[in-house]
Structure 1
Amino acid sequence: MNNNKSVPAVIGLALACLTACSGTVSPVSGGDGRPQVEADYSIYASAEEVTTASDIAITAAVLSIETRECDDGGESSSGPTVDPTESDAVDTNPDPSASSSPAPTSTPSGIAGNSAGGAQCMPMVFLKVRVSGMMKRGFGVNDGDEIIVGNIDTDAVSMEGTTPIAVGKQYALYLTQLTASDHPGITSVPTFWIPVGGNQGIFTLGKGTVQPASANIVGLTAADAEKALRSPGTTTGRHKFATTVSGLKKAAAVAAAKKAAAARKKK
């Protein structure tokens, strides 16, 4: 049950590549001095929905911070290419005194490579996590593997919808993989994973309980979430949802069954 609502955005730097959303860095700082960031995310209401949206879903312990980097968005896209075979691309009356090589020009303001432009960038933190269990398998990831998870660096910026992933803690994480071609602005980590929908893909593991980091998650399955959203108090923040790892696995099984049923209908 994805209601396709979005968090408002302000003017600034696009985050679409890195965080599976669109968003911005605001020049205005919050009370703690960090720049304020807002983003547009698809909204999910259940563990089933984030399972469906993810490439893998795991339980994991955070071992260490691998690196930090400020994503500048990568190379700017070049302008449209002119096909030299087109008739209007050929000068039918060339100037014989003109040089065959145009004089070099300075880089226009705002284009990548212009150091004086001071382009904004998005601070990121990359953490090494060890997989302890899997709700949704894929991409050759198995129990015991160590992978890199990227997240907005909340030590540097303040962003609603982002929850810090802390070293030494355990989480259930619903992740999408990004490879080098997906994130040209990041050079220190070639391949990494990001939580689905910001903190909607992050659940904190406690003693016998699992708590979603996002208040948007109100049920295990889409059907459970629909019922919860109809109950009084859910949309006003009084509804508190908690579950277990076993519950998350059941939600993942529901998601897998629906995917299999949809595949059978296409045949």
Structure 2
Amino acid sequence: MKKTSRLCAVTAAVALFALTACSGPGSSGGGEAGKPYISADYAQYASAEEVSTVADIAITAAVLSVQTKECDDGGDPAGSVTVDPTAADDVDTNPDPSAPAEPEPTAPPSGVAGDGPASNCMPMVFMKVRVSGMMKRGFGVTEGDEIIIGNIDTDAVNMEGTTPLVVGKQYALYLTQLVAADHPGITSVPTFWIPVGGNQGIFTVGKGGVQPASANIVALTSAEAETKLKQQGTGHAHKGTFTTTVEGLKKAAALSASAAATKPARGPGKASAKPSATASAGR
């Protein structure tokens, strides 16, 4: 995995994409020349049932338009105290008379000088979609609603595990909601949704059926996925593209909901069922 300091200004919103490494324009690692390449570390899911379990909602939708683009500069967490960097922590009662009155400015680290604004923020694109169907309901979202989906802007950077959503196309989407407090670096969109697990939360809907954008998804249910992965491990199955239907995704979501309903309730003092931004980084 690559390790470098560029393009690592990450807010809570982008932290949910679990960015762990970045590199500058023209670096190795794939993607188009001239674009920064970003590595990511996601929790891995193997079935539609699993992504349904971690999603807040699961929908089918058509992408209507690009609503806005914004470069996420990180922002300040809500309630953070503003510190004046020019204020002295204390007064030196015994100053060195040979010391200059003003400190010399610190030279920028090698390789950073000359970087433009794009190297210090994360390009994001926000797209309006219209909900045509629901596989997992929640947050008051229903058929016919229009919501905003946030994603890494692949026109500006190359990021592994990111599938661009194309205007006019239909998708099945497994999504997590972010509100203003979750993304202080984004100001153009107060509330939006992101796919869980990068492109693991994106399925394309076409005439030939429904296919996951991520090769990690190999089956509808967790049990089927476990069997397939075991077979692949012994060399008895060829890894191919998994294809299903919207009805199949609905059945997997229902199975996920049924399994969640049978789990014992969390007792007092235990961790909240709603992950924090940091804990959600695996999504």
TM (normalized to structure 1)? 0.79
Identity %: 61
Can you list the C-alpha shifts for 1:5-59, whole angstroms capped at 9, x where unaligned? xxx4532305462241133431142543211111111111110110011100000
Q: How does 1:115-134 map to 2 (within 5 A)?
A: 118=117, 120-134=120-134
1:18 aligns with 2:13: yes
1:238 aligns with 2:267: no
1:249 aligns with 2:250: yes
Can you list the C-alpha shifts for 1:209-265, whole angstroms capped at 9, x where unaligned? 100000000011111110111123799983221110011011101110111000469
Distance (Å, rounded) in 2 between the aligned partners of 1:259 and 1:154: 35
Secondary structure in 2 matching 1:18: helix
1:211 aligns with 2:211: yes
Contact 2:25–2:33 at 8 Å: present in 1 too? no
> CA 1:264–1:185 in 2, change beyond 3 Å: closer, same or farther?
closer
Contact 1:14–1:22 at 8 Å: present in 2 too? no
Distance (Å, rounded) in 1 between the aligned partners of 2:49 and 2:105: 49
Deviation at 1:197, TM superposition (A): 0.6
Can you list the C-alpha shifts for 1:165-187, whole angstroms capped at 9, x where unaligned? 00000000000001111111111
Can you list the C-alpha shifts for 1:54-74, whole angstroms capped at 9, x where unaligned? 100000000000000001111
Deviation at 1:108, TM superposition (A): 8.4
Secondary structure in 2 matching 1:229: helix
> CA 1:194–1:230 in 2, change beyond 3 Å: closer, same or farther?
same
- RCO (CA 8 Å, sep 6+): is it higher in 1 or 2? 2
| 1:83 paired residue number | none
Deviation at 1:207, TM superposition (A): 1.4
Specify every segment of 5 or more residues in structure 2 that has no aligned partner in the other structure, as ranges: 84-88, 95-102, 109-114, 269-283
Task: Give the number of equivalent residue pairs.
Answer: 241
Specify every segment of 5 or more residues in structure 1 that has no aligned partner in the other structure, as ranges: 1-7, 81-88, 96-104, 111-115
Distance (Å, rounded) in 1 between the aligned partners of 2:47 and 2:3: 27
| 2:54 paired residue number | 53
> CA 1:130–1:230 in 2, change beyond 3 Å: closer, same or farther?
same
Secondary structure in 1 matching 2:263: helix
> CA 1:229–1:149 in 2, change beyond 3 Å: closer, same or farther?
same
Secondary structure in 1 matching 2:255: helix
TM (normalized to structure 2)? 0.74
| 2:73 paired residue number | 72
Contact 1:16–1:23 at 8 Å: present in 2 too? no
